[in-house]
Amino acid sequence: MKILVIDDEKPTLSMFRLFLAAYGYEVYTAENGEQGLETFNRIDPEIVFTDIRMPGIDGLEVLRQIRKTHPRCQVIIITGHGDMERAVEALDMDASDFINKPVERQALNAALIRAEKRALRSEDPSFSLTVKEMKAGVSILCDGKLSEDAGAGLSRIGSKISENARIIFTFGDDFSIDRQGISRLMDVLRTMTGNNCSITISGLSYNYLRFFEMAGIDKLAELTPAVTEEPGI
């Protein structure tokens, strides 16, 4: 499997090259967005990592250009601290995932595993909800992309939850979200906490857990990560 890494910092490129080659990937690198797009068109990789902040063509423009011609390519955005708004913008443009600098091995593994699974699918699944009543409370499984339209069902469920209930959200492997989906999810969580519900969100990839913390969702629910596997090709 071919992976392209685009970043204007040479130490970051060296780190990616070391880790990805050790996993057995065919690794290509580029030091700016323009070079990255040229390399992308030449090698047609399955997965792309791109820094969000680069001089000239930045990571968002790289993502925009790739989405025009290769909608199934898995584009993972590399963000820095304080890039919350730009990370959300990338999700609105259907970024596959994101990782923060400095890049941690666990975060890289989680991004690769999600990208590999998504790359094997012919299309992204639609958003789905599965609700189960339990003795301890209510279990809600969310999968697919949570957006404004898809979130209507989640809001209806949230309004029907009784007071003082224990709610366990589980997000599946295919879960993703955009700006409106984040807003919808937080509104539902606020309604539940207003009814004195105890909320746990489980099954989050390492990177989504960090993103939810940046968004302040950890103030409304307990966040627990999924078990991190080792990527394989």
Plot region of 202 (φ>0 → left; ψ -120 to 50 → alpha; else → beta): beta
Q: CB of 167 within 8 A of CB of 129?
A: no
What whole-number distance in Å separates Cα of residue 64 and Cα of residue 163? 44
Range with top average pLDDT, 57-61, 70-74, 80-84, 92-96 = 57-61
What's this model's pTM, rounded to 2 decimal places? 0.84
Residue 226: name the closest of 207, 199, 198, 212 by CA: 207
Radius of gyration of the CA atoms of the chain, in A? 18
Q: Does 196 lie in the same domain as 143?
A: yes
Q: CB of 185 within 8 A of CB of 169?
A: no
Residue 50: name the closest of 22, 69, 31 by CA: 31
CA quadruple 133, 135, 140, 141: dihedral positive or negative?
A: negative
- Tell me how far apart the terminal alpha carbons of the chain are, to the nearest angstrom: 7
Q: Is residue 233 part of a domain?
A: no
Q: Does 140 lie in the same domain as 194?
A: yes
Q: Does 164 lie in the same domain as 100?
A: no
Count: domains in the chain: 2
Displacement of CA 74 from its chain's centroid (Å): 11
Beta bridge partners of 193: none
Q: Does 107 lie in the same domain as 13?
A: yes
What pLDDT digit, counting tens, does each position of 3-42 carry? 999 999 999 999 999 999 999 999 999 999 999 999 999 9
pLDDT recorded at residue 161: 83
Q: CB of 220 within 8 A of CB of 189?
A: yes
Structure tokens at 161: 């939850």
Q: Does 103 lie in the same domain as 84?
A: yes
Structure tokens at 45: 């990789």
Select the more confidently predicted residue: 199 or 120: 199
Query: Domain range for residue 25?
Result: 2-119
Residue 31, SS3 per DSSP: coil
What pLDDT digit, counting tens, does each position of 51-79 carry? 999 999 999 999 999 999 999 899 999 98
